[in-house]
Chains A and B, each alone.
Chain A
Amino acid sequence: MEHDKTPAIVFDHVSVTRSGLNILDNVNATIPRGSWAVLIGPNGAGKTTLLLALLGEVNYRGRIELGGGKGLRIGYVPQKLNLDRGMPFTVAEFLAMGIQKRPLWLGISRSAREEAAHLLEMVHASHIMKRRVGTLSGGEMQRVLLALALQQKPELLVLDEPSAGVDFEGGRLFCELLEDLRATQGFTQIMVSHDLGMVAHHATCVICLKRRVVAQGAPQDVLTGPVLQSLFGMHMGLICAESHIHRAPTLAPFDPEAALPLTELRPLEQVRQECAEQEKHHV
């Protein structure tokens, strides 16, 4: 990826109407190259719809420009896959189907097998190469889907709620994996997430969506009480603090800047104390 100053994605007055319902209303947003952009917003805010518009899967009015009009190679990781779980279909085949020209019924070629193994290594899942796709857990499936997306050598990685159905530890590891991959591969990344702690820690660009863009910018500018209040409603203080509790032990070294808006809602020391207490209870 050359040092191109054009933004990776420009949403220019994007509107989507379905069944007479305004799902997205004049969405304007710019995502710079190399950023980790996160869409946040309540259920039904239109986050998935915006990603699908980006992929060209839904009709929209307005303009979406990728790579300054030149287009970008996309890797896509969906929220979940509707798989026939009993289907004989191995992880190796799942990855090879996009790599090799030779049909899978003539076997997996050596080079495809090597590339598949390399991709799995990249997502730290080498051990599941021989497993059936239908027997994978949510977190394992997510890694395989990520490997499939990485196989595209994407310039833009699109992820829809990759942490849904994965425990906090799994979600954290997945985000750290993405952080490493983005550093080595240099792609731009746009994802939907509900984990505000993760957003505060990793995102470089946050878009708050609720049918229209409520706020956008760097996390410390966007994740403020008033914005979250208008985005999620009354109970946000609580949710926010809760996600903070789960995150706090992992934020080492602690980044006060990223967490500043969150600590406004609750004194930091109190949160830490509660964390320590929680851990005692668990032991």
Chain B
Amino acid sequence: MFDISWLLSLASHFPLDGMDMRFMQQALLALVLLAPMTAALGVQVVHYRMAFFSDAVGHSAFAGVAVGLLLGIHPHVSMPLFGLGVGLAIMFMQRYSALPSDTVIGVVFSAVVAGGLAVVSRDNTIARDLQQFLYGDILTMTEADLCWLILLFAAFLLFQLLAFNPLLYAGTSGIIARAHRIRVALCEYCFAALLALVVMFSVWGVGVLLVTALLIVPAACARNLAQTAGGMFWWAILVSLSSAVAGLALSVQPWMGTATGATIILVSCAWFLVSVLVSASRNENRL
């Protein structure tokens, strides 16, 4: 799509064994792009109480792959598109249904998981892909995937520049925000779309099971460490980025040999313990 070799050669200078290998450079680049996105969106997910939403979108990954294989579309295309569709559908149903939002999400959640399993059970050749989506594998990111990720990052940056304040307003109270002429619906749909896409890319990184952790844990740390909403944004990014890089570095050590996604989450959970201690020492612990 476009040339990213200069970015990869930049990544190769990172002081870590094995960075001369292409897949390591790609993995590092992917993580450095993904981590700030999941962190910042995670702060908004916490504020908007949308953890279940992102979980449901994450679990639609498998159905997305299955549908792609049925229709002969490459999984790396069908999966994000399917997730985007699921995210927007949930948002739409939440707005126009009288049901509580977790009920709506629960129904969609069941539908996509059951759909995915149904397709898999018909066709055994898909089943071997299952593990990849459960645990994730950041090391299999292709260069084309990275190009898409860079585009997504640009969209993310634009969104955070234009919509951070309105989204905070709407998350504080939709009714006040609408009365005060904030374009709440537009903000929420854009947020849902962006979140769905980032979640789908994160499934490659850490797997279906851990996607929500990637969003929530840095935000939870930041909530303990920050004093302001702006500070929370930066703390979450710091925690997420450092966990991602440290997680990658640790996971490729011969003595570790663990899955990258799980290692990243473990590092961020260690961050969380630190943040709890910091918050407790500030004598404002609200555990």
Contacts and interface: CB of A to CB of B under 8 A. Distances in A.
B165 A89 contact: no
A268 interface: no
Interface in A46-69: 52, 55-57
A126 B182 CA distance: 26
Contacts of A152: 180-181
Interface string A77-109: 010011111111110011011101101111110
A88 B231 contact: yes
A112 B222 CA distance: 25
Nearest to B235: A88
Contacts of B234: 105
Interface residues of B, number: 31
Nearest to A103: B164
Contacts of A81: 172-173, 176
Interface string B173-190: 101101111100000000
B interface majority secondary structure: helix
Given A105-B233, A107-B230, A56 B160 contact: no
Given A81-B173, A87-B47, A76 B179 contact: yes
A93 B47 contact: no
Nearest to B226: A88
A89 B178 contact: no
A83 B172 contact: yes
Contacts of B160: 103, 105
Interface residues of A, number: 38
Given A84-B47, A98-B169, A76 B180 contact: yes
Contacts of B179: 55, 74-76, 158
Contact of A76 (B169, B176, B229): B176
Nearest to B166: A97
B169 A105 contact: no
Interface in B155-175: 160-162, 164-166, 168-169, 172-173, 175
B228 interface: yes
Contact of B175 (A78, A106, A107): A78
B180 A88 contact: no
Interface in B33-52: 46-47
A132 B284 CA distance: 12
Interface of B: 46-47, 160-162, 164-166, 168-169, 172-173, 175-176, 178-182, 222-223, 226-234, 286
13 contacts: A56-B178, A76-B179, A78-B175, A78-B176, A87-B47, A88-B226, A88-B231, A98-B182, A101-B165, A104-B164, A104-B168, A104-B233, A105-B233
Interface of A: 52, 55-57, 73-76, 78, 81-90, 93-94, 96-98, 100-101, 103-108, 132, 145, 148-149, 152, 158
Given A104-B164, A105-B164, 5 more contacts: A81-B176, A103-B164, A103-B165, A105-B160, A149-B176
